[in-house]
Amino acid sequence: MSTAAVINATRHELARRVNGGLEVTLFWDTEDGTSVEVQHPAIDEAISFNVAPDRALDAFHHPFAHLRWYPR
């Protein structure tokens, strides 16, 4: 089994939204915990960061406010 298949099997999408050309997704991973991913398809760039479970929903709604608190 490939590494990609293992990673995808542990990662679950909890919520997704599109706003202003950005796609924001909240994930829960059985090994890595919760994370937020922000994609900008128009320029083919993305950022992703782990977030504490108690701040996950707020980080999903306001990812750039939380980005500074988590290492990249």
In 3D, which of 64, 33, 34 has the Cα closest to residue 47? 64
CA dihedral in degrees (65, 69, 71, 72; nearest 10)?
0
**Helices of type H across the chain:** 3-10, 56-61, 63-67
Q: State mean pLDDT over 16-24.
A: 95
pLDDT at 2 over 50: no
Predicted structure pTM score? 0.79
